[in-house]
Amino acid sequence: MSNNDSSWPSPANRIVNLRPNSPVRHLEMVILRIYPQRLVVSQQFTGHVAAACGRDETGIVGLVLWGSQVNDVRVGDIIRIESGWCRLREQSLVVSTGRTGRMSIVSRFGSH
């Protein structure tokens, strides 16, 4: 297989290449775990938030699910984050869609 095969994501789209305080243009991962949701009330956001973690072939990363994402995503789903962000929290990388990014479910666990 050549290095120009467009079916493979570019290296910047891998967890191993994420950097703190950097945008996440495009990242796909499988959801490994979703922690209990909590209600957040602030000037910037009011709604449910849940921590989660996901992985690709290169590593594991934390994930913040906001609002409807909390109920939409399930363990085992493959999700895509576009125009999100990456931050460092307690010495671990965490990604999120933030205010302007998008998350979509690429493949639902158990679906064919």
The pLDDT tens digits of the residues spanning 63-81 come to: 999 999 999 999 999 999 9
**What's the pLDDT at 107?**
93
Domains and CATH numbers, the chain: 33-107 (2.40.50.140)
Is pTM, for the whole model, over 0.85? no
pLDDT at position 8 over 50: no
Q: pLDDT tens digits, residue range 12-69?
A: 689 999 999 999 999 999 999 999 999 999 888 889 999 999 999 999 999 999 999 9
* Extended beta strands in the chain, E state: 22-34, 38-41, 46-56, 59-66, 78-89, 92-96, 102-107
